[in-house]
Structure 1
Amino acid sequence: MKLKFSLILLVLAAAVGLLCAQGAPPREIAITIDDLPAAGMGMSGAQIVEMTSKLLGTLRDQKVPAVGFVNEKKLYKFGEVDDRIKALAMWPEYGFELGNHTFSHASLSRVTLKDWEEEVVRGETVTTMLLNQHHMTLRYFRHPYLDTGRDLETRRQAEAFLVSRGYRIAPITMDAWDWMYASVYEDARKRGDSALQQQLVSSYLSYTGQVFDYYEKFSKELLGYEPKQILLLHGNWLEADHIGELLDLLRKRGYKFISLQDALGDAAYSMPDEYVGEEGTNWIDHWAITRGRPPRNTPQFPQWVIDRASALPRSPGQP
């Protein structure tokens, strides 16, 4: 009898657990990829085409929506313009949208508002042409360095300018600094150092998990729920080679992949946001600072990766 009762309890517990799981809304996230046609300065036009094909192939095969943000200045390298435009054209050809990231990755706090506005306009030319060929429109803007302005007046004027040109700002809520890992990864890749590559990938995925742990919890404390997240990535070999592992990590955390448009439908992105400062940060931080609750004890980025990246020689033209 005891055994029978125990079995009934187990069955009931399993049923309740299943119902709870079915009733819980899935986590949702949009993927965004910055600094196109490729982050950094080290890749040739042909390599950018190869990298882009691999990156977008994985996203397309796994039916993961994404928006890529473009710095058109990177298209104009002598002898490589055709390849670089070819790489960028692959985005709408594969069914992915493109957004504006200014012409030369201009930081709003480091140039005049007028110069920054000109950067936005100059960053539209090729991107608009490529999108129009696939019956798409240029509708998203991402601030370089996530720099929304050094003061509130500048920020509001810049936002009004973007609205006047038909843009929706693309915020972010999750950022694991893949660009820092990528510089070291690409150097190791060139040298054939597979051990270091794997060490970097392992660290990157681990740190990404820590970032998600922190901001999932913090957003619940701040907002009462987890908003539809927007992840910031960059166009690089780290993501081209390993974005499948990153997507697996997110699926294991219960995430469903959605479009940027769907993510921006979350009410959180309409909340008061008065964050200003030259140090760009994610929008969960924006909302927290606006409410007088700045984040504390955020995950520490691995110092050894910073040290490795700092020791790398700079490519010509790299800031």
Structure 2
Amino acid sequence: MNEAGGRFPRSKRASARRHGLAALAAAALVLAGGARAAGPAIALTFDDLPAHGPLPAGETRAGIAEAIARAARAAGSPPLYGFVNGVQTEREPGSAAALAAWRAAGDPLGNHGWSHLGLSKIDPATFERELTRNAPLLADQRARWFRFPFLDEGADPARRDAARAILARHGYRIAAVTMSFGDYGWNEPYARCLARGDQAAIAGLERSFLAAARSALAQSRAAAQARYGRDIPYVLLMHAGAFDARMLPRLLDQYRRAGVRFTTLAAAERDPAYASDRDPRRPFDADALQHHLPSPEIAPEDAEYAGAGLASLCQ
């Protein structure tokens, strides 16, 4: 299961949309004209290593990890974090090779909980077991980053505070997310369409994937302007799936043409906007952008290849 339902709280969505029209127009002008405008910094991060989504015939998990790393380096991205669910090494034997490939590329690994369990569904003792069981798979124990599965930090303040205390005790920082376009949703339909040889459907998936990313960039920037009065360095959530790997070169080129520059997770989250999550000893900030991610808006012509339409595509 992926970073899905409940990830986009609605309390800030109306405000983000009011500010989003101007940002969308500006982004469209940059992309249409091919001009290089000064844009924001984005840190690329990937969840659900070593195995996310279906594995198309002829591909390997290590190959997906290697393709992601190649695309990131070609685009000038510094090292990018991959967040690990160790249970996948048991569910899919051989997938641990993806972790070795990730480390070989010089990219660090973070903790995403052993079984990818949302905090709302477990007690603090289980949360700590999930954290510590996963830890041996991480290469660098000096710089520990944790990302909540499903971005679920718990609705109950006592449970949330207990989890944050556990993270602080184990020396973790929280890897917050301030940009997402639901990339995970494209991986399953891509595998189905590829198996059927439906190239027209795959072309539609490619088009809608890039359109959703453009919308998310504009809307996260508008939401940051509304919340902070400025751009912040954004942390983009993606997943280590086959379609992500296929699309990453084109996605990063699209970002670069929009003036985006790439940065590291640590550099991005040194910004004051992330202070409450970077250090779990601080009080939880319910108003921070990472807790009110805006949803990307998809044009009607892409409806079949995005959102709810993905479930029935190539069935």
Q: Same fold (TM over 0.5)?
A: yes
Matching residue of 2:169: 164
Deviates more, 1:33-42 or 1:224-233: 33-42
Letter in 2 for 1:310: A
Matching residue of 2:51: 38
8 Å CA contact 2:196, 2:314 repeated in 1: no
Deviates more, 1:240-249 or 1:305-314: 305-314
Matching residue of 2:159: 154
* Counterpart selection for 1:103 from 98, 114, 139: 114
Is residue 232 of structure 2 the alignment partner of residue 230 of structure 1?
A: no
Larger Rg: 1
After superposition, give the CA deviation of every residue in 1:58-116 in whole Å (9 maximum; x if it has no partner).
22333313100000000114xx63x3122111111110010000001011001112112
SS in 1 for 2:95: helix
8 Å CA contact 1:72, 1:103 repeated in 2: yes
CA offset at residue 253 of structure 1? Answer: 2.0
Is residue 85 of structure 2 the alignment partner of residue 68 of structure 1?
A: no
Q: Equivalents in 2 of 1:45, 1:119: separation in Å? A: 32
CA offset at residue 307 of structure 1? Answer: 3.8
Deviates more, 1:179-188 or 1:44-53: 44-53
Letter in 2 for 1:99: G
Matching residue of 2:3: none
Q: Equivalents in 2 of 1:108, 1:48: separation in Å? A: 27
Letter in 1 for 2:86: E
8 Å CA contact 1:100, 1:138 repeated in 2: no
8 Å CA contact 1:176, 1:207 repeated in 2: yes
CA offset at residue 25 of structure 1? Answer: 6.3
SS in 2 for 1:72: coil
8 Å CA contact 1:32, 1:68 repeated in 2: yes
CA offset at residue 285 of structure 1? Answer: 5.3
Matching residue of 1:299: 297
Matching residue of 1:220: 225
Q: Equivalents in 1 of 2:309, 2:63: separation in Å? A: 26
Q: Equivalents in 1 of 2:162, 2:84: separation in Å? A: 22
Number of positions where the alignment pairs a residue of Structure 1 with one of Structure 2: 269
Matching residue of 1:12: none
Letter in 1 for 2:152: D
8 Å CA contact 2:56, 2:191 repeated in 1: no
TM-score scaled by structure 1? 0.76
Identical pairs, percent: 30
| Deviating 4+ runs (over 6 angstroms) | none
CA offset at residue 176 of structure 1? Answer: 0.3
TM-score scaled by structure 2? 0.77
Unaligned runs of 5+ in 2: 1-36, 277-282
After superposition, give the CA deviation of every residue in 1:160-217 in whole Å (9 maximum; x if it has no partner).
1111111110000000000012221122123222221111111111111112112212
Q: Equivalents in 2 of 1:137, 1:231: separation in Å? A: 23
Is residue 171 of structure 2 the alignment partner of residue 178 of structure 1?
A: no
CA offset at residue 312 of structure 1? Answer: 7.4
Report the CA distance shift for 1:208/1:181 in structure 2 as closer, same or farther (over 3 A): same
Matching residue of 1:194: 199
Higher relative contact order (CA 8 A, sep 6+): 2
CA offset at residue 153 of structure 1? Answer: 1.9
CA RMSD of aligned residues (A): 2.7
Q: Equivalents in 1 of 2:171, 2:309: separation in Å? A: 41
CA offset at residue 243 of structure 1? Answer: 0.3
Q: Equivalents in 2 of 1:256, 1:263: separation in Å? A: 11
* Counterpart selection for 1:86 from 94, 97, 105: 97
